[in-house]
Amino acid sequence: MTDQTKWVYDLNEGDASLKPLLGGKGANLAEMHRIGVPVPDAFTVTTQACVASMNNDGEWPEGLAEQIDAGLARLEERTGKNLGSAENPLLVSIRSGAVFSMPGMMDTILNLGISDDTVEAVAQLADNERFAWDCYRRFVQMYGEVVEGIAPNVFEDALTEMKESKGVALDTDLTAADLKELTQQFKSLANEALGGHWTTDPKEQLLRAVNAVFKSWLNPRAEVYRKSQGISRDLGTAVNVQEMVFGNRGETSATGVCFSRNPSTGAKELYGEFLTNAQGEDVVAGIRTPRPLEEMEAVLPEAFTELLETMERLEKHNKDMQDMEFTIEDRKLFMLQTRNGKRTAAAAVKTAVDMVDEGLITTEEALLRINPSDLDALLHPGIDPDFDGVAIVKGLPASPGAAVGALSFDAEDAAERGGRGEKIILVRYETTPDDIAGVMVSQGVLTAHGGMTSHAAVVARGMGITCVAGAPGIKIDVKAETVTINGKVYGTSDVLTLNGSTGEVFDGAAPLVPPAINEDFEKVGEWADAARRLGVRANAENFEDASKARELGAEGIGLARTEHMFMAPDRLPAVRKMILADNEEERAAALAEILPMQQKDFEAIFTAMKGLPVTVRLLDPPLHEFLPNLVEQSLLVQKLELTGADEADVERERALLGQVKKLHEQNPMLGTRGCRLAMLYPSIPEMQARAIIRAALAVLEREGETVGVEIMIPLVVIAKELQVQRAIVEKAVEEELAAAGKTLDYTVGTMIEIPRAALTADQIAEHADFFSFGTNDLTQTGIGISRDDAEAGFLGYYVDTEVMARNPFEGLDQDGVGQLVQIGVEKGRSTKTSLKTGICGEHGGDPASVEFFHNAGLDYVSCSPFRVPIARLAAARAALLNK
């Protein structure tokens, strides 16, 4: 036994540091016990035991069953109760508990140990027969569903029938005799469903329940949740076997959930819900709509005061907002769970700032508390405060934000429509964790039942999805796909607006306004700026986006594309003239027409950036992108020919078709684009360089602002290309400056976006003042996949089956493409130590990628304007975590 792996830990053997082994729930129960908070006695089966079973086709590792037996014997010894005893029976819960909390995604079984042999003793000891049968019927249902896989409706139908036949509305109105009868029914239904194989021995039930919790680690909703949160499947779940305490022993007993601060707003105030004469599952599974915690003061005053003290104590101890489950058994308080509470982005920011003010944590700890990706939610719109529509119903404000969408009454339907990009409000009687796939893609969730601490609400807040819960009096007809609110019937094509901050629901789409960025947000941004080394710029090419970027803290533009401007309808004719020109003269004339337009665009960007650096990338896409589609143009010509149209028209369209054909490429992404185009048509980069300089001089004169001009040549793969292009650009710039009699600092650099460029970066750096890694194209060319084809094709499958950990266009492929970035930086700097390096792919706003770029030693990342705050925080965290 001595050299055997330890699979089981008693409650007093653990503490918070053992989270990887005991799971969050188990480690925190042990920690609470250690510091003297009342917790029912327990033992924990380790995550390693789950992993070992999982890796061995579900077969338990050697010694596990024996250690559970021994753990149970010790628990019996400590509690003085015995599992299955007819005198003093021990009842336990079997609870899942992963390293990272996954609210409601796995299974729990309560009241195990109640049986025909023990139920009388339970009744006598509590002096409450109704309570004993309530436990028993709950147990048969939970055990039957979770361990034996019996369909829930088997039990629910029987319960509904029973309530109807007794003429009562609530479970709590059923008498002891009713519940006894119901239990007998449940048992025979269960036995029937299992073909006579219903287990009645509590010991055997215990082992089967532990195994069922192991297996629930792999159930579909847990898989979906893990994937969405980036939690590894290899971690496994622990299993806690804990003595039951009973919130369903009458009106002096209760159960509930509370937070040490408001998880929606972060405010330091009472936030919680409870039910008397109930078990925890009734609250967390959203089966009944619970009462606000404030009301507990009048019902159970001593327990209420003790709860408040415990809350405060646990928050101080864990130095973070706590989400707690408690049960009061005959006025005595027990804590059943505590964890760092899931919260909205707004609450994360507010609690972090407040806790710094309260001296509870440092600014560095505060920065590490806030998940950068969550900031995104703060930048989403809310309902216009001037909107004075009248709510059609008001439920509980379970997860804030505004959601506008068409209705869906089924998670699968929501997942499908939401997946297609439709804006959906998922309307459910109550949401169960099984709805997770539908919830994730919805704008908002509206439920008829359940409170603000139900699992559904917790998950929604964690994901930044708006939720109004427990909307009173709404009638949902799932079959007909309708909901009746305030007398009016709404179907799948009707639109509602949810206000998750107030709980209000409006008919139709309410007007939305951009979010207001508050002081706390600004403060976190300032702390982040002080902590980070990496610069943060934005990708933007017009005045609005550039201004937004500056407002959100960008230190410059890392990528201003010049081709979007070419696509504007009023420009396209001139651009086409340039492309279709037969000779240099015609082309020059067309370019002369475009130049002032480009100049105006650049002036707008320079003006918005007020002296900050702006990297302008010269024309990048293949020319045929500016021409009509080949198939469409062929059809047009055919149609004109067949309908005998005017010969001049036919001729013109035919000529255009000829050009389209000439420029058509099999693989345009790898064809004549970027600097290759500029090599063939040098008058294009020349015109662009002139437009940039004229714009810079104009802004300098008009606004008195210096302008940080950085001219970027795309798609270079050979040093010679950059040498030639740089010369073209420099000549044009010098001519412009000479003509104006002015001087201006500017730099010329290139994108590194093809493996060959990274590999020969030492040669390319000879001609470059800066490198900007275009990680989108570098991912395509480095992995050898085209984004559109991959995403429409195999990539989803690869990510689902974990062949690839993430979509490489969302999170940088650090092992592969990452190496190209590292090589490019190293080689580039080996030639030129002062070489400035940055990245301008979408990865610039992805926190994990930002950390990689920090470690690769880049000077800055550039991302879309709304991701700038995310990148600032991610860069700060990267600096703090990689000191």
Closer residue to ligand ADP in complex, CB, 246/809: 246
Neighbours of 741 (CB within 10 A): 6
Q: Which of residues 156-195 bind ligand ADP (CB under 6 A)?
A: none
Asked if 95 touches ligand ADP (CB under 6 A), the answer is yes
Q: Using CA atoms, how far apart are residues 773 and 818, in angstroms rounded to an integer?
A: 11
Give me the least distance between CB of 93 and ligand ADP, in Å please: 3
Cβ pair 774, 782 in contact under 8 A: no
Sign of dihedral through CA atoms 355, 361, 367, 372? Answer: negative
Closer residue to ligand ADP in complex, CB, 330/703: 330
Cβ pair 11, 42 in contact under 8 A: yes
Region of residue 104 (phi > 0: left; psi between -120 and 50: alpha; otherwise: beta) = left
Asked if 104 touches ligand ADP (CB under 6 A), the answer is yes
Cβ pair 573, 589 in contact under 8 A: no
Q: Which of residues 107-146 bind ligand ADP (CB under 6 A)?
A: 108, 110
Answer with the entry of Mg ion, ligand ADP, none that 753 interacts with (C-beta below 5 to 8 A by kind).
Answer: Mg ion
Q: Who's near 818: CB < 8 A, 6+ residues apart?
A: 812, 852, 856
Angle, vertex CA 336, rays to CA 331 and CA 342, nearest 5:
125
Give me the least distance between CB of 562 and Mg ion, in Å please: 13
CA atoms within 13 A on the CB side of 584: 4
DSSP SS3 for 556: coil
Interacting span for ligand ADP (CB under 6 A) from 104-112, 225-233, 725-733, 845-853: 104-112
Asked if 281 touches Mg ion (CB under 5 A), the answer is no
Answer with the entry of Mg ion, ligand ADP, none that 244 interacts with (C-beta below 5 to 8 A by kind).
Answer: ligand ADP
Asked if 242 touches ligand ADP (CB under 6 A), the answer is yes
Size of the site for Mg ion (CB under 5 A): 4
Q: Using CA atoms, how far apart are residues 718 and 228, in angstroms rounded to an integer?
A: 41
Going by C-alpha positions, the residue among 685, 675, 694, 688 that lies closest to residue 774 is: 675
Max CA distance (Å), the chain: 105
Closer residue to ligand ADP in complex, CB, 108/725: 108
Closer residue to ligand ADP in complex, CB, 237/408: 237
x/- map, 325-364, Mg ion, by CB under 5 A:
------------x---------------------------
Give me the least distance between CB of 614 and ligand ADP, in Å please: 51
Answer with the entry of Mg ion, ligand ADP, none that 280 interacts with (C-beta below 5 to 8 A by kind).
Answer: ligand ADP
x/- map, 380-419, ligand ADP, by CB under 6 A:
----------------------------------------
Closer residue to ligand ADP in complex, CB, 244/463: 244
Q: Who's near 17: CB < 8 A, 6+ residues apart?
A: 27
Interacting span for ligand ADP (CB under 6 A) from 5-13, 100-108, 643-651, 783-791: 100-108
Answer with the entry of ligand ADP, Mg ion, none that 774 interacts with (C-beta below 5 to 8 A by kind).
Answer: Mg ion
Q: Who's near 863: CB < 8 A, 6+ residues apart?
A: 536, 537, 538, 539, 558, 842, 844, 845, 870, 871
Asked if 47 touches ligand ADP (CB under 6 A), the answer is no
Q: Looking at beta carbons, which residue is closest to Mg ion?
A: 777
Three-class DSSP labels, 670-722: HCCCCHHHHHHCCHHHHHHHHHHHHHHHHHHHHHCCCCEEEEEECCCCCHHHH
Closer residue to Mg ion in complex, CB, 178/710: 710
The residue within the footprint of Mg ion, chosen from 354, 753, 813, 846 (CB under 5 A), is: 753
Closer residue to ligand ADP in complex, CB, 103/621: 103
Give me the least distance between CB of 216 and ligand ADP, in Å please: 10
Interacting span for Mg ion (CB under 5 A) from 120-128, 461-469, 750-758, 781-789: 750-758
Interacting span for ligand ADP (CB under 6 A) from 243-251, 423-431, 543-551, 647-655: 243-251
Asked if 97 touches Mg ion (CB under 5 A), the answer is no
Interacting span for ligand ADP (CB under 6 A) from 158-166, 241-249, 785-793, 819-827: 241-249
Size of the site for ligand ADP (CB under 6 A): 19
Give the DSSP per-residue string, 753-822.
Answer: -SHHHHHTHHHHGGG-SEEEE-HHHHHHHHHT--HHHHHHTTHHHHHHTTSSSS-TTTS--TTTHHHHHH
Give me the least distance between CB of 489 and Mg ion, in Å please: 37
Which ranges of 230-344 does DSSP label H, i.e. alpha helix? 280-284, 296-299, 301-318
Cβ pair 700, 660 in contact under 8 A: no
x/- map, 252-291, ligand ADP, by CB under 6 A:
---------------------------xxx--x-------
Give me the least distance between CB of 225 and ligand ADP, in Å please: 12
Burial label, 114 (beta-carbon count in 10 A; 0-12, 13-18, 19+): buried
**List 33, 449, 455, 854, catalytic entry:** 455
Residue type, 597: M
Q: Using CA atoms, how far apart are residues 798 and 792, in angstroms rounded to an integer?
A: 12
Q: Is 317 a catalytic residue?
A: no
Asked if 710 touches ligand ADP (CB under 6 A), the answer is no
Give me the least distance between CB of 504 and ligand ADP, in Å please: 29
Closer residue to ligand ADP in complex, CB, 92/711: 92
Interacting span for ligand ADP (CB under 6 A) from 103-111, 167-175, 396-404, 414-422: 103-111
Tokens in use for 214?
């192991």
Closer residue to ligand ADP in complex, CB, 435/603: 435
Asked if 323 touches Mg ion (CB under 5 A), the answer is no
Answer with the entry of Mg ion, ligand ADP, none that 598 interacts with (C-beta below 5 to 8 A by kind).
Answer: none
Q: Which of residues 765-804 bind Mg ion (CB under 5 A)?
A: 774, 777
Cβ pair 642, 615 in contact under 8 A: no
**Beta strand pairing call for 396-399 and 393-394:** unpaired
Give me the least distance between CB of 453 and ligand ADP, in Å please: 10
Tokens in use for 778?
């570098």
**List 50, 840, 843, 854, catalytic entry:** 840
Helix, strand, coil distribution of the chain in percent, nearest 5: 50, 15, 35
Q: What spatial distance separates the first Cα and last Cα of the chain, rounded to whole Å?
A: 43
Give me the least distance between CB of 714 and Mg ion, in Å please: 6
Answer with the entry of Mg ion, ligand ADP, none that 327 interacts with (C-beta below 5 to 8 A by kind).
Answer: ligand ADP
Closer residue to ligand ADP in complex, CB, 242/501: 242
Give the DSSP per-residue string, 192-235.
Answer: HHTTT-----HHHHHHHHHHHHHHHTTSHHHHHHHHHHT--GGG
Give me the least distance between CB of 260 and ligand ADP, in Å please: 17
**In sequence order, what E strands does 285-413 have?**
291-292, 322-329, 332-340, 382-383, 393-394, 396-399, 402-408
Q: Using CA atoms, how far apart are residues 304 and 770, in angstroms rounded to an integer?
A: 64
**In sequence order, what E strands does 491-596 have?**
495-499, 504-507, 512-513, 535-539, 557-561
**DSSP-assigned beta bridge partners for residue 391:** none
Q: Is 455 a catalytic residue?
A: yes
Asked if 336 touches ligand ADP (CB under 6 A), the answer is yes
Output the CA–CA distances (angstroms, integers) from residue 754 to 209, 494, 712, 767, in the order listed: 55, 48, 15, 17
Residues within the interface to Mg ion (CB under 5 A): 337, 753, 774, 777
Active site residues: 455, 840
Residues within the interface to ligand ADP (CB under 6 A): 40, 93, 95, 103-104, 108, 110, 242-245, 279-281, 284, 325, 327, 336-337
